[in-house]
Amino acid sequence: MDAAQTQVQQAQIIEKLKQKLAGVKLPPDVSEKLADELMRVELVFKTKDFNPELDRQINYINFVCDLPWDKAGQDILDLKRAKMLLDKNHHGLEPIKDRILEYLSILILNKSKGLIPKQPILAFVGLVGSGKTSLAFSIAESLGRPIIRIPFGGLGSALQLRGESRVKSEAEPGLIVRALKRAQVKNPVILLDELDRVTENARADIMGVLVELLDPEQNMAFLDHYVGFPFDLSQVLFVATANNTGNIATAVLDRLELIEMPFYTDEQKLVIGRDYLLPEALQSAGLDPKLITIAPDVWPNIVRPLGFDGGIRSLKRNIVSMVGKIARMVVEGNKGPYIINSQNLNQFMSI
């Protein structure tokens, strides 16, 4: 690329950044900081001096501009719709669904008065595959909010949540502000998934950040070290999950409302598999539900092929595998229909 082309490209970069800054509503101190950063970028372009910080400065301006500083999504405040979605997505769990509806009712009442509710954070605790994560997604769907999942399994540093200072060349924003950038609204649902699975050596520091995140008195000015300015998280709806509470700090537990997930009986899992998981898998695969018939006496073997499992993750995996095998057969020319019975079940089960 010759000098003239380089100048044109640099001018385009500057103009694009100026337009971006002019087109977003930022807190005054943030706007002033970004304007200074842009001036430095422009100066480097004019002096033609190589500056290894240049790309990082441009990335910083873009990232901070892309945060939803003043953009909140419109909630769907319809309790009947919320109940319909919970019933559609979850078989049984009536006490848990009732508690979620009570929680949403308080949110609706507060929103109608222009208030920000200060309820404890719902935290679903139970076995893998017991429906914890899907309940969080149903809450988000009920409100019409985007949901961003932050997995805590193996999280090894509080800096992964809070970001790193830009004095470090490899600095990155933290998972919280990255979630907000992805959501593009300041009031998403953020799922803090498997809080109990952070690494041992970083647990104390991570729990300290969680206390700040979940405390309504503190999260109105959450400071990500990369961004360098406080961000208001008071409109974020945090939901948490855990397999157990043994590794969660007491100060964090004090800010959670623990909801224990029950074991599913074989009878409940049969209904979930037949009426929820199978139709979902068929729809995802693009298969006609009339193409497959599963004999009633086969379902117990699908539900419990290898012994007791209190969750439904294995059941879902079995059903998805069966549907996948049938999808392949259809594509290879065997149009069906398929009747799965005790004689041919092993052909469709991956165990």
Q: How confident is the model at residue 78 (pLDDT cuts 50, 70, 90)?
A: very high
Same structural domain, 246 and 295: no
Q: How confident is the model at residue 325 (pLDDT cuts 50, 70, 90)?
A: very high
Same structural domain, 46 and 159: no
Look over the chain and give the mean of its residue pLDDT values, rounded to a whole number: 90
Is residue 71 assigned to a domain?
no
Is residue 74 assigned to a domain?
no
Same structural domain, 233 and 313: no
Same structural domain, 54 and 111: no
- Using CA atoms, how far residue 191 sits from 134, 180, 197, 229, 313, in Å, is 10, 12, 14, 23, 19
Is residue 85 assigned to a domain?
yes
Q: How far apart are CA 106 and CA 79, in angstroms?
A: 11
Q: What is the CATH number of the domain that holds 237?
A: 3.40.50.300
Please check the confidence at residue 2 and state whether its pLDDT lies above 80: no
Q: How far apart are CA 30 and CA 130, in angstroms?
A: 43
The pLDDT of residue 4: 67
Q: Of 66, 94, 113, which marks where a domain is finished?
A: 66
Same structural domain, 115 and 177: yes
The pLDDT of residue 46: 76
The pLDDT of residue 116: 80
Q: Which element (helix H / strand E) includes 29?
A: helix 28-47
Q: Of 40, 66, 92, which marks where a domain is finished?
A: 66
* Mean pLDDT computed over 134-155: 95
Which of 316, 319, 310, 304 is closest to 349 using CA atoms? Answer: 319
Is residue 73 assigned to a domain?
no
Same structural domain, 228 and 125: yes
Is residue 72 assigned to a domain?
no
Please check the confidence at residue 224 and state whether its pLDDT lies above 90: yes
Q: Which element (helix H / strand E) includes 230?
A: strand 230-231
Same structural domain, 165 and 236: yes
* Mean pLDDT computed over 243-251: 93
- Using CA atoms, how far residue 225 sits from 14, 76, 158, in Å, is 25, 33, 11
The pLDDT of residue 336: 79
Q: Of 235, 260, 285, which marks where a domain is finished?
A: 260
Q: How confident is the model at residue 71 (pLDDT cuts 50, 70, 90)?
A: very high
Structure tokens at 18: 């100026």
The model's pTM is 0.85
Structure tokens at 183: 């959501």
Same structural domain, 246 and 278: no
Q: What is the percent of the chain where pLDDT is above 70?
A: 95
| Domains in the chain, number | 3
What range does the domain containing 309 cover?
Answer: 266-348
- Using CA atoms, how far residue 303 sits from 104, 162, 266, 270, 310, in Å, is 33, 42, 7, 6, 11
Is residue 194 assigned to a domain?
yes
Please check the confidence at residue 285 and state whether its pLDDT lies above 70: yes
Same structural domain, 108 and 224: yes
Q: How confident is the model at residue 95 (pLDDT cuts 50, 70, 90)?
A: very high
Same structural domain, 319 and 183: no
Across 29-61, b (16+ Cβ under 10 Å) vs e yields ebbebbeebbeebbebbeeeeeeeebeebbebb
Cα four-point dihedral sign 150, 153, 157, 158: positive
Q: Which element (helix H / strand E) includes 223?
A: strand 222-223
3-state helix, strand, coil in the chain (%, to 5): 55, 10, 35
Structure tokens at 110: 């507060």
Is residue 210 assigned to a domain?
yes
Q: How confident is the model at residue 232 (pLDDT cuts 50, 70, 90)?
A: very high
Is residue 204 assigned to a domain?
yes
Q: How far apart are CA 44 and CA 109, in angstroms?
A: 53
CA–chain centroid gap for 279, Å, is: 24
Read off the pLDDT of residues 253-276 as tens digits, 9 standing for 90 and up. 999 999 999 888 888 889 989 998
Same structural domain, 242 and 343: no
The pLDDT of residue 112: 85
Q: What is the CATH number of the domain that holds 307?
A: 1.10.8.60
* Mean pLDDT computed over 111-127: 88
User: What is the residue whose two structure tokens read 């308080």?
Assistant: 106
Among the listed ranges 64-68, 72-76, 91-95, 186-190, which one has the minimum average pLDDT value? 91-95
Same structural domain, 177 and 283: no
| β-bridge partners, 121 | 256
The pLDDT of residue 310: 63
